[in-house]
Amino acid sequence: MRLTPITVQNVTLPNNVFLAPLAGYTNYPFRRLCKGYGAGLCYTEMVSAKGLKYGSENTEELLYTDEHEGICAAQIFGSDPQIMRAACEHKKLQPFPIIDINMGCPVPKIYKNGEGSALMENPALAEKIVSECVKSGKIITVKFRIGITEDKLITEEFAKRMEGAGASLITIHGRTKNKIYAGDVNYREFASAKKAVKIPVVANGGIFSNEDAERLIEETDADGVMVARAALFDPQIFCALTGSSAESKLEMFKKQLKWTGQVCDERFVVVFMRKMAAFYVKGMRGAAGYKERFFRAKTPEEILTIAEECFR
C-alpha cells in the first residue's frame, strides 16, 4: 500500500499503518511484536479514566510500556470532561505522547454509561471532552464510528466537530454502532470525512490484506489505515502492509511468549498465550486438535512444547 509518514503535531510516525486498540489483547508484548513487524503506531487497550482516578490496579497494568516499544498511544474512555483531562495528566500516562479518546466502543455496558459510542449522540459533550483533554498538553486524537444506525450517519459533521475541539487526528471505524464488527465497511463515509477536515484521517475496518488496504486508500484518500482483528490472527500482516521482513510463525510465537513472560505473571502468560494460539492455528490442518491441547496446557513450558510441534 501507499506508505507515508504521518506527522501529528510535533510527533512524526514512521508510517501510516496502525494497530488498533483491542480490549484484552493489545498489551505491551503484543504491541511490541506488531511494532517490530512494521506498525507505525500501536495503541494500548482501552483504559477507564475513572479507573485511573481511583487507582485501579488492573488499569495501571494495561499501561505498561518501556523503551523497546518506542512511541505508543494510550486510549482512554469516559464521559466526564474533568475526569478525562485528569486522566491525560495522570503520571501513568506520562510515557504516552498521544492520548486517543474512545468514542466508538459498541459494548452495551460502555454505551449505557454514556461512554464510547454514546458520545456520538451527544456531540456537545464530545467536543467538551476533547477541548478539556487538549488543555493537558497531550496530543489528543479521537476514534469514532460512522454513526449509531445506518439511517443517521454522522461522520462528516462529527469529524468537523472533533477537529474544531482540538483533535489532531481522527480514526473512523467504517461501521455503525449497531453493526458491531459485522457487515460491509462504508467507504463513502471515510471519503466524506477526509474532504471535510484538514487533520489526518485514519480508516479502520475490513482490512485483512494488503489489497484491502490499497483499495481503501485508493477509494477514500484516507491518510492511513488501522488494522484490528486481522492482527490477532497474524501479527505479520504488518510485514505484508509495510514490506518489513517476516519470520516463521514459530519464531513469532516464541518471541511473544518470552516477552509476555518478562512482564506478566505465569498465570496470565498461560491464559493469554492459549488465547493467542487459538488465533494462530485457525485454518491450519489439525487446528482443532492443537487448539484443544493448547487449552489443556498448564505452564508456559507446555505451551512452548506444543507450539514447537504445531508451528514447526
* CATH at 66: 3.20.20.70
CB-count burial class (<10 Å; 0-12, 13-18, 19+) for 186: buried
pTM beyond 0.75? yes
**Contact predicate 43/21, CB 8 Å:** yes
- Domain of 77 in residue numbering reads as 6-242
Query: How many structural domains does the chain have?
Result: 2
Beta bridge mates, 172: 144, 203
Q: Are residues 184 and 282 in the same domain?
A: no
Which residue, of 218, 242, 266, is where some domain finishes? 242
Catalytic residue selected from 88, 105, 133, 239: 105
Residue 46 in domain: yes
Q: Are residues 154 and 270 in the same domain?
A: no
Q: Tell me the Cα Rg of the chain.
A: 19
**CA nearest to 101, candidates 41, 144, 156:** 144
**Contact predicate 102/143, CB 8 Å:** yes
Which residue, of 242, 262, 284, is where some domain finishes? 242
Distances (CA, A) of 307 to 2, 189, 283: 35, 42, 15
Per-residue pLDDT of the chain (312 residues; tens, 9 = 90+): 889 999 999 999 999 999 999 999 999 999 999 999 999 999 999 999 999 988 887 887 899 999 889 999 999 999 999 999 999 999 999 999 999 999 999 999 999 999 999 999 999 999 999 999 999 999 999 999 999 998 899 999 999 999 999 999 999 999 999 888 878 889 999 999 999 999 999 999 999 999 999 999 999 999 999 999 999 999 999 999 999 999 999 999 999 999 999 999 999 999 999 999 999 999 999 999 999 999 999 999 999 999 999 998
CB-count burial class (<10 Å; 0-12, 13-18, 19+) for 120: buried
d(CA 68, CA 137): 24
Within 10 angstroms of residue 157's Cβ, the number of other Cβ atoms is 13
Q: How far is CA 163 from the centre of its chain?
A: 20
What pairing do the DSSP bridges indicate for beta strands 224-227 and 169-173? unpaired
Residue 216 in domain: yes
Reply yes or no on whether 42 is catalytic: no
